[in-house]
Amino acid sequence: MPEPVRVVFLGGLGEIGRNCAVIEQEGRMIVLDCGVMFPDPEMPGVDLVLPDFSYLRENAQRIEGIVLTHGHEDHTGGLGFLLREIEAPVFSSALTLGLARSRVEEAGLSGVEMIAVTDGERRRIGPFDVEFIPVTHSVPHGFATAFHTPQGVILHSGDFKLDMTPVDGRRTDLARIGQIAAGEGVRLLLADSTNAEEPGYTRSERTVGETFRLVFAEHPGRRIVVACFASHIHRIQQVADAAIAHGRRVALLGRSMLRNVALARELGLLRIPEESIVEIEQVDGLPAGDVCVLSTGSQGEPMSALSLLASGENRRLTIEEGDVVVLSSHAIPGNEWAVGKVMDGLARRGAEVIHSGNAHVHESGHAKQGELATLHAVARPRSFVPVHGEYRHLLRHARLAIEMGADEHQVLLCEDGDAVVLTDEGIDFDGEVPAGYCYVDGTIGGVGTAVLRDRRVLAEEGVVVVVLAVDARSGEVITGPEIITRGWVHAPEAEELIEDARTAVLKAVAEVVGGGTFDADALRRAVRRTTGRLVNDRTRRRPMIVPVVMEA
C-alpha cells in the first residue's frame, strides 16, 4: 500500500502574497516557494510580512530543498529570511534564481546552493521526483511543478495564463499536462486562483505592445517615462521595441530596473542594442522626443523612483511640463491610495498620466475563468485545492472545479496553516500548523499583534500620559498630576477638560491610598481607569492611557 503524502500550506491562501507550501513524503519535506506580502494600512510601521517559519525550523533536518515556481517577490521575497533559519539547496530557472539571489545577498548569506533547471527537466530531490513544466506568466521562465509521488502526481500550476502569442514564444505546456493526465493521472491539482472571479480569457501580453506603439506615435517630441515591475522582462522588451522604433533611446531609472535588465540581457532574455541605451544622467541633455525612461515604482512605493519623481525629490531626473508618464500596471489590492497619490503628484508637475484606467497599458499574468476551465479539462484531477488568492477567489475557483465535473467531496477549501493528506481512500484534512503573520520591522519577528494594535490605537485615538509623584510612605501626591496628550486634544484649547481630568485623578489617588497603605500597581490601575472613563465620557474616544507614577 503506497504511503500517504501530505501537503502543508504556510501562506498564500486567503491573501495575495506570502506564497509558501510544503510537500511531505517518506519522512522528508520539500518547500514550494517562499514569498512575502506587502503590509496593508492596518499594519503601521511594518516593512514586509513573512510566512511563519516555525514549522520549517522545527523540521529543518527533514528539508531536502526549496523549489521556486517563478521570480516574483510574493513567491521568492522571503527566501533570504528562510535561509537564515535553515540550510537547503534552491531549485528554479536561471532567471528566477538570478532575481532571488539579490535578496539572499542582501540578507548577508553566501554559499547558498542554487541549482538551475530547464523546461521539461525532471529532477530527483531526495525522495521527490519533480518535473518542471513551462508556463506563461508576467515574468519569464515560470514553472508549473509536477511532483510524482507514491500517491500519484501532485500538480501545482504556479502563476500562469494561457497566452497563445507570448512575447518570447514560450507557451504554457498544456500538452505535457494532458500527457500526465492521460498516463499517470493528476491525483491532486493546486492551481492559481487570482482571477477566478473574472470571466473570459486574459488577453495576450502582445496587445500591450500594440498600445505602446500608439503611445509613442501619438506623443512625438515629448519625453515618455514608463513605470512597470522591474521583473516584467516581456513588458520592458515591448516598451524598448516601441521606443527604438520611434527613434528614441532608452534610459533606466531605479536600482532593481538596472539590476534586472542587466541580468535578463546576460541570460539572453532581453534584446536591447547597446547603442540604444543611454545613462539616466544624460537624459536632461537630450531632446525630449529622443528618449524613453523605464522606471520602477508603479505601485507607489514611498521611496521608489517614480514616487520621488512625483514629489520632485529624484536626484537623477525631474518631471517637466509636457512629459508623458505611463503606469504600466494595476494597483495591487491595498496600494490604490499610494498609486493615486503618485499620479496626482505627477499631474501637478505638468505630466500627462496614462494608466490602466484610461488605456490598455497593462495585462494580467493570471488566468481567468476560461483558462482555468481549460486547465481543469486538460488535467482532469482526482482532487483539487485552490491556491494563490483571497478567500473569495479560492471559493469561486472551488465552485468552478465542481462545475467542471470534480467530485465535491474531493475539492477542499483550505486556508493558511491547513494540512491535507493523500491516502488510498482520497484526500482529507490532516491537522494544522502555525501559519500566522511574521512582521518585518527592521528585524524579523520584532513586531507582534499586540504592538500593531497599540500602533493603531496611537494612530487613530492618540495617547494621554498622566505623570505624578507620590510619597511612598504617606501616599500623598507631591507633584502632579501632569497630563500630557498627543493626538487626543490640543492642550491649549482644552484647559477645562484637562483640569477636570486632574481633579478626577487626584480623587482616585485619595481613594486608593486612603487606608494608609501604598500600592504602586493599584495606583496605576486606578489612574488609568479613572482617566480612561473621563476621556471616553467627554470625547467618545479611547486614546491609550499611560500612567507614570514616581515614588519618592
Q: Which helix (H) or strand (E) holds 81?
A: helix 79-82
* Burial class (CB within 10 angstroms; exposed 0-12, middle 13-18, buried 19+) of 317: buried
Which is nearest to 77 in space by CA: 17, 142, 139?
17
- Do the beta carbons of residue 247 and residue 287 sit within 8 Å? no
Which one of 70, 219, 246, 366 is the catalytic residue?
Answer: 366
Neighbours of 491 (CB within 10 A): 13
* 410 CB neighbour count, 10 Å cutoff: 18
| The three cell numbers locating residue 197 | 472571479
70 is catalytic: no
Element (H, E) at 482: strand 477-486
In the sheet with 291-295, reading across from the earlier edge strand, the strands are: 249-253, 291-295, 224-227, 324-327, 352-354
Angle between helices 495-513 and 520-539 (to 10 degrees): 150
Candidates 192, 323, 418, 441; catalytic one: 192
Query: In angstroms, rounded to a whole number, what is the distance separating the alpha carbons of residues 267 and 98?
Result: 10
By C-alpha distance, which of 144, 92, 88 is closest to 115?
A: 92
168 flagged as catalytic: no
Exposed / middle / buried, residue 371 (Cβ in 10 Å: 0-12, 13-18, 19+):
buried
Residue 432 dihedral angles phi and psi, to the nearest 5°? -135, 155
142 bridge partner residues: 135
User: Which segments of 176-300 are extended strands (E)?
Assistant: 186-192, 224-227, 249-253, 291-295
Q: Which of 77, 64, 129 is nearest to 103 (CA)?
A: 77
What are the catalytic residues? 192, 366
